[in-house]
Amino acid sequence: MNEMDNLLACLFNVYSTQKMREMTQLIIGFNLKTIIIAKAVGSAAQSGIPDVNKMVIKNQKNLIVLQDLPDVLEILKPSKILLFVPKPHGKKKFDPIEIASSLKTKEKVLLVFGGSTPGLSKKELDLGESVYLDVEGDLGTIGTAAIVIHEIHRAFKIKSE
């Protein structure tokens, strides 16, 4: 088993089928093993889930769809839970080296990205560490996820050398 298999990405509270497709493509592109969708609502639940399921099957990945974030935590039991929010709302700056170190020690790390505006509520933020990317503005869900996963990959490679 590859240590990067313990890196899990969750798209939470999503209404947009397009956003689900983009996040799934991102996960597949970075060759992560599993995508998690929690709290898909409306068209995302009706047509988005079957859509991304097809993408996942074609690419031999895993899709986990759950009702809410506490369900994700109960079933997957991650060691670390990072909830990504824009800079003013995060308590801690995102550190990819810390995550790479956790993955190296076979810890399961869950990255949670809000799928709609405003994103994650105070109740959800209390379920893990609220972190932010040190960038000027809000990059949105897909932009944030792309940078975060890329930075973890880079830090992981550096740690491996």
Q: How many CB atoms lie within 10 A of CB 36?
A: 24
For the beta sheet containing 109-114, the strands, ordered from the edge strand earlier in sequence to the opposite edge, are 62-66, 34-40, 7-14, 109-114, 80-84, 129-132, 92-93
Give Cα separations from 103 to 6, 7, 69, 151 (angstroms): 7, 7, 21, 13
Q: What is the CATH number that goes with domain 3-160?
A: 3.40.1280.10
pLDDT in tens, the chain (161 residues): 577 899 999 999 999 999 999 999 999 999 999 999 999 999 888 999 999 999 999 999 999 999 999 999 999 999 999 999 988 788 899 999 999 999 999 999 999 999 987 678 888 888 999 999 988 878 889 999 999 999 999 998 775 55
On whether the pTM is more than 0.75, the answer is yes
Token output for 104: 């190296």
